Amino acid sequence: MAIFDYAPAPESRDLARLKPHYGIFIDGAFRDGTGEAIKTINPATEEPLAEVAEAGVSDVDDAVRAARRAYDNVWGSMPGRERAKYLYRIARAIQERGRELAVLESLDNGKPIKESRDTDIPLAAAHFFYYAGWADKLGYAGFGPNPQPLGVAGQVIPWNFPLLMAAWKIAPALAAGNTVVLKPAETTPLTALVLAEIIAECDLPPGVVNILAGGPEVGQALTEHPGIDKVAFTGSTEVGKAIQRALAGTGRRLSLELGGKAANIIFEDAPIDQAVEGIVNGIFFNQGHVCCAGSRLLVQESIADEVLPALQRRLGTLRMGDPLDKNTDIGAINSAVQLARIRELADSGDDEGASRWTAPCDIPDRGFWFPPTIFTGVSQANRIAREEIFGPVLSVLTFRTPSEAVEKANNTPYGLSAGIWSEKGSRILWTAQRLRAGVVWANTFNRFDPASPFGGYKESGFGREGGRHGLEAYLAY
Amino acid sequence: MTVRKTYKLYIGGAFPRSESGRVYPVTSSSGDLLAQAAQASRKDVRDAVVAARGAFAGWSGATAYNRGQVIYRIAEMLEGRRDQFAAEVAAAEGLGTAAAEGIVDASVDRLVWYAGWTDKYAQITGGANPVSGPYINYSVPEPSGVIGVLAPQQSSLLGLISVVAPVIAMGNTCVVVSSFARPLPAISLAEALGTSDLPGGVVNVLSGSAAELAPWLAAHRDVNGIDITGAAPEGRANLLRSASDTVKRTYSPAGGRADGPGEEDWATEPALRRMAAFVETKTVWHPLGI
């Protein structure tokens, strides 16, 4: 059928240097956890990749104690210029092992290698490099002449950008002089544990960074631990609310980066071809496992008949399959649990009267897959227009006037991100000003940078990660 | 015969009585009856939130220069009624005339200080971000929305202004629960607000019990943030728990701990913290190209 066929171009799995067993990292050393070890699997094949030790509650205690000792004895009082050098060293080491980390990330997470290679890993290194430079300049960051670290930070991250989220959490915390206990997601612990290895090789003093694999109960033990001073959480709004509730009245600091249901607004004067690329990137990047995904397409009524066929044509060219293949556009859904959730929400779209269109993709026999899907005829009241699906499912709504677009875009308890497509500068800025969202991409989507603050309005959380703003969450002033 | 004032609520730019019909006696520090103040109810809270939400688009959309002038105008109104406010503060807080006048002067100064911040805060906290790519990228602070403010229980005017001014300077609108025992300066301030070009609904003042009203504010789904300064220390944690159901932004003395110190010293120059508590950072990207 296709005019051009692609020959498979798989990256070698051996580059990942998979080990049969991974421990937890406390006080500068790897060890077995007191929890039950789990097998982490490749979501593209359902084959086990490695056995990973899980932390138990007593390990959390040990890690917090180690972090406290490191804070009191070494890190909290170390001159900023010395802390900076450790962070630069980590940034360089991530770059050096970038190919290994990219392959490992794609194996454990299911994301296409071109994304882990070109986005996740380089951005993780850049984040350390960026915050390294802040470590000895905190007095210039706008939080008073002599801002102080908070102490020990407990950090819990999701499975959608495993190494990148670890970098987003660890780099600003360390730059500001805090020590950390980090828990990666249960389904994607491997790159964080290699980061622990890198950190050990960089001779970071023991206890400054502690990394514990584990499930929700380990996360809860960490976020509610009385020995920590600050909690940083990225994940679902539901869990974020529970953490905010648990921390009420404790005096411990909190920053939350939660869910989203972003509107991607296409005005009738938009460059259609670019907008279609932006829509695809907005919702199908990383299989839609993105809290800031452009999951609600708001297209102006006058061009809906032009945009939708163009979008469908473009989706027909996406290649779904082996995440390690450099040609792959759409990788695997991260877990069976997530696949079930996506299916359930997509089915609710059928039940509530929306029309489903599925991209013509061959679905591999094994693994967790969900082809790019578009729902048209969606009402604002439908679950697929209100709830975060966290998968490759786009809900299409239309609008007639810019005011209606803004009203519909803001009609959600979330407020993480939004997109605007138009050739008219004043309309873009007018719209950007009115969108209640923390990140607004105009004529682009899903761009990230260590210098750019990221975070939400309303129930998408509070606090920012990235840029000067990202230091605020880790400083007392 | 003097004509006595009826102290009422301030909601949406009007001065209604409490819909509940309730009043409560307000006495001076020496025990003399000063007035029967309106005692706001849950329904008054809801009405005030509706008024604050209605005023939000206009106030947050006003230019920073305009907001600065309006807040400066409040200072002018306060200065013009200096004797009245001094007398009310003296009666409420049991101060001599000179001390009470000092409080009013400091209150005027506080308003002037925040008036000047409206068009400067964005310049010191926002700006261009040097991203690695062909994009222009900038961050700006924006108001969080409708904020519930529990005014301090002791400092009836200076403390009140110190918690309200930062909230509205940033473009938020608010529902303020005044000091329970010392509400009269708050109601008189509302009258000054009513003649200050401040659009109705930007500040709504409810006299009454924070213990009774605050839980409704903390749980309200259309309130974006809450400052619990005036809550009793033992009530802080519950309010913060309730606020978590809608991921509210919160400002709490002593981080919300019940064992924190008492009311802060309102005479010292404030930090940026109260403004920072109720702003969001918006970051906008646009590609460069020809």
pLDDT band at B160 (very low <50, low <70, confident <90, very high): very high
Beta strand pairing call for A148-149 and A152-156: unpaired
Window 50-109 of B, Cβ < 8 Å to A:
none
What length does chain B have? 290
B119, B100 contact by CB (below 8 A): no
| Distance, CA of A113 to CA of A124 (rounded, Å) | 15
Residue A48 parent element (H or E):
strand A48-52
Most B CBs within 10 Å, among A441, A445, A471, A472, to test the B interface: A441
| DSSP conformation class of A335 | -
Mean pLDDT of B204-230: 98
A291, A418 contact by CB (below 8 A): no
Residue A462: per-residue pLDDT: 98
Most A CBs within 10 Å, among B247, B251, B272, to test the A interface: B247
DSSP SS3 for A116? helix
pLDDT for B256 beyond 90: no
Beta strand pairing call for B146-150 and B33-38: unpaired
| Distance, CA of B189 to CA of B160 (rounded, Å) | 9
| Distance, CA of B179 to CA of A270 (rounded, Å) | 53
State the amino acid at position B92 in one-letter form. Answer: A
pLDDT band at B4 (very low <50, low <70, confident <90, very high): confident
| Distance, CA of A440 to CA of A432 (rounded, Å) | 6
A288, A374 contact by CB (below 8 A): no
Q: CA-CA distances (angstroms) from residue A353 to A348, A358, A376, A379, A381?
A: 9, 16, 9, 9, 11
**Using CB atoms, which residue from A439, A451, A477 is nearest to B131?**
A451
pLDDT for A252 beyond 70: yes
Residue B254: per-residue pLDDT: 85
A326, A9 contact by CB (below 8 A): yes
- B281 to chain A, closest Cα gap in Å: 6
pLDDT band at B196 (very low <50, low <70, confident <90, very high): very high
Is-catalytic flag, A459? Answer: no
- Flag whether residue B120 sits within 8 Å of chain A, measured between CB atoms: no
pLDDT band at B247 (very low <50, low <70, confident <90, very high): very high
Is-catalytic flag, A201? Answer: no
- B180 to chain A, closest Cα gap in Å: 23
Q: What are phi and psi of B141, to 5 degrees?
A: -80, 140
pLDDT band at A260 (very low <50, low <70, confident <90, very high): very high
Q: List, for residues B48-64, the tens digit of each pLDDT value.
A: 999 999 999 999 999 99
The catalytically annotated residue of A115, A202, A291, A388 is: A291
Q: In what order do the strands lie in the sheet with A38-41?
A: A21-22, A48-52, A38-41
Q: Flag if B247 and A244 touch (Cβ within 8 Å).
A: yes
ipTM greater than cut 0.90? yes
pLDDT for A5 beyond 80: no
Q: Which CATH superfamily is domain A13-258+457-476 in?
A: Aldehyde Dehydrogenase; Chain A, domain 1 (3.40.605.10)
Mean pLDDT of A114-137: 98
Nearest CA in chain B to A457: B280
The rounded Cα A168 to chain-centroid distance in angstroms is 9
- Residue identified by tokens 């951005």 is A123
User: Exposure of B79 by Cβ count < 10 A (0-12 exposed, 13-18 middle, 19+ buried)?
Assistant: middle
| Distance, CA of A377 to CA of A8 (rounded, Å) | 37
Nearest CA in chain A to B286: A442
**Using CB atoms, which residue from B144, B243, B285 is nearest to A444?**
B285
State the amino acid at position A62 in one-letter form. Answer: D
- A106 to chain B, closest Cα gap in Å: 24
Residue B19: per-residue pLDDT: 97
Q: Measuring CA to CA, which residue among A137, A369, A406 is closest to residue A263?
A: A406
| Distance, CA of B206 to CA of B80 (rounded, Å) | 24
| DSSP conformation class of B220 | -
Question: Where are the strands (E) in A301-366, listed by range?
Answer: 355-358
| Distance, CA of A266 to CA of A303 (rounded, Å) | 9
Q: What are phi and psi of A331, to 5 degrees?
A: -95, -155
Residue B2: per-residue pLDDT: 86
pLDDT for A1 beyond 60: no
A290: left (phi over 0), alpha (psi -120 to 50) or beta: beta
Domain A263-442 has CATH 3.40.50.150: no
> What is Dmax (Cα atoms) for chain B?
78
Residue A155: per-residue pLDDT: 98
Neighbours of A190 (CB within 10 A): 25
Q: List, for residues A50-68, the tens digit of each pLDDT value.
A: 999 999 999 999 999 999 9
Q: List, for residues A322-357, the tens digit of each pLDDT value.
A: 999 999 999 999 999 999 999 999 999 999 999 999
A237, A158 contact by CB (below 8 A): no
- A149 to chain B, closest Cα gap in Å: 16
Contacts of B239 in chain A (CB under 8 A): 248
Q: List, for residues A194-248, the tens digit of each pLDDT value.
A: 999 999 999 999 999 999 999 999 999 999 999 999 999 999 999 999 999 999 9
- Flag whether residue B281 sits within 8 Å of chain A, measured between CB atoms: yes
Mean pLDDT of A371-388: 97
Contacts of A403 in chain B (CB under 8 A): none
Q: Measuring CA to CA, which residue among B181, B164, B24, B33 is closest to residue B93?
A: B181
Bridge-partner residues for B177, per DSSP? Answer: B150, B206
All domains of chain B, ordered by start, with CATH? 23-260+269-287 (3.40.605.10)
B27: left (phi over 0), alpha (psi -120 to 50) or beta: beta
Domain boundaries in chain A?
13-258+457-476, 263-442
Q: What are phi and psi of B265, to 5 degrees?
A: -85, 110
Question: What whole-number percentage of chain A has pLDDT above 70?
Answer: 99
Nearest CA in chain B to A436: B282
Question: What whole-number percentage of chain B has pLDDT above 70?
Answer: 100
Mean pLDDT of A92-98: 98
Mean pLDDT of chain B: 97
State the amino acid at position A175 in one-letter form. Answer: A
pLDDT for A477 beyond 90: no
**Using CB atoms, which residue from A249, A439, A443 is nearest to B287?**
A443
Q: Flag if B247 and A241 touch (Cβ within 8 Å).
A: yes
B102, B93 contact by CB (below 8 A): no
| Distance, CA of A58 to CA of B34 (rounded, Å) | 60
Q: List, for residues B67-88, the tens digit of each pLDDT value.
A: 999 999 999 999 999 999 999 9
The rounded Cα A215 to chain-centroid distance in angstroms is 18
Residue B32: per-residue pLDDT: 94
- B165 to chain A, closest Cα gap in Å: 21
pLDDT band at B255 (very low <50, low <70, confident <90, very high): confident
Q: List, for residues A161-181, the tens digit of each pLDDT value.
A: 999 999 999 999 999 999 999
- Alpha helices (H) in A133-253, listed in sequence order: 162-175, 190-201, 216-223, 237-247
pLDDT band at A2 (very low <50, low <70, confident <90, very high): low
| Distance, CA of A275 to CA of A266 (rounded, Å) | 7
pLDDT for A3 beyond 80: no
A406, A242 contact by CB (below 8 A): no
